[in-house]
Amino acid sequence: MIRIGIIGATGYAGAELVRILHGHKDAEIVWYGSRSYVDEKYASIYRNMFELVEDECLGDNMAEMAERVDVIFTATPQGYLAGILTEEILEKVKIIDLSADYRIKDVSVYEKWYGIEHKSPQFIDEAVYGLCEINRDKVKNARLVANPGCYTTCSILTAYPLVKEGIIDPNTLIVDAKSGTSGAGRGAKVPNLFCEVNESIKAYGVASHRHTPEIEEQLGYACGGDVVISFTPHLVPMNRGILATEYAALTRKVTAEEIKVVYDKYYGEETFVRVLPMGNVPETRWVEGSNYVDIGFKIDERTNRIVMIGAIDNLVKGAAGQAVQNMNIMFGLPENMGLDMVPLFP
């Protein structure tokens, strides 16, 4: 039985970790960490856990937690883990970090885009970028996994095979992505109030969103060079889901059948990536509540471009589900253990 601690258990991603791990037969949460709700019963904060979780919330003492658990999930703001992580902690426990603290290898890029000083850059090189379908062999032996962001997971997986095979020019890539409001977290913010979000859609972080360098770095590894993309996120009035519509110039003339073969080459054996039949396009409603990524595409012969579309649940494959998938890999368990949730509908 894997003993688990969660710091940030009362945020949206933390609560999703609790929900998923509650159904994982080889996992036991022994520490529900929350700075805001110490000594309060977890089920009083999330009533869906009434009579399912009897524990009270504890604090966020990572050094003490490391003595009691096998793995710690940190569902915390940027800068938190980097500010407290030590070698002594990493010698005792594995860590899966849902923030961006160790996702970007160039510390100066991290500090520029996130606007904060990185407090423990000595761990950046060791951290494994936990995009399971691409880096699972590295994840297997990792002590520290940087769980990818939600926009980045969807954006990278949607374009990765075509970048890797040189079928598209990655420097022409435009990513137009939409997210539900849970992606902004549970904290009270005026722009996320019902009356501010309902019956509206808005772009934000235009030409400046901090997930941009993460996407560029990972696609750069795929093509073996520097990549510069245009990424624009949008907020839409729904609870969950991300839809990324991506446009790129083709490097040569290809047929839809050839593109499908490439996607199947990379994802045909993947449990959680579903490449849709040609002519079908992903919708967030068909992945909601699940760890699946749905991908579709259409060649635009008139412009010599391809349109790639990906859909995920931002709280599952975009956060907690992928974190559990990483945990399974790290502990030698079947990758889908605890994650075989059928998408919710309606």
Cis, peptide link before residue 346, omega less than 30° from 0: yes
Six-digit token string for 135: 């880096």
DSSP-derived letter for residue 148 is P
Spatial separation of the C-alpha atoms in residues 89 and 92, rounded to whole Å: 5
Spatial separation of the C-alpha atoms in residues 210 and 235, rounded to whole Å: 15
The residue annotated as part of the active site, out of 57, 132, 150, 223, is: 150
Residue type, 300: D
H-only helix segments in 62-211: 62-66, 80-84, 87-90, 107-114, 132-139, 150-164, 194-197
Instruction: Residue 160: count other Cβ atoms within 10 Å of its Cβ.
Output: 24
In contact, 305 and 162? CB cutoff 8 Å: no
In contact, 105 and 83? CB cutoff 8 Å: no
Q: Is 132 a catalytic residue?
A: no
In Å, how far from its chain's centre is CA 104? 14
Q: How buried is 76 (Cβ within 10 angstroms: 0-12 exposed, 13-18 middle, 19+ buried)?
A: buried
DSSP-derived letter for residue 291 is S
Helix, strand, coil: what percent of the chain each, to 5? 35, 20, 45
DSSP string, 251-278: SS---HHHHHHHHHHHHTT-SSEEEPPT
Residue type, 307: V
In contact, 9 and 35? CB cutoff 8 Å: no
Spatial separation of the C-alpha atoms in residues 222 and 167, rounded to whole Å: 12
Q: What residues are labeled active site? A: 150
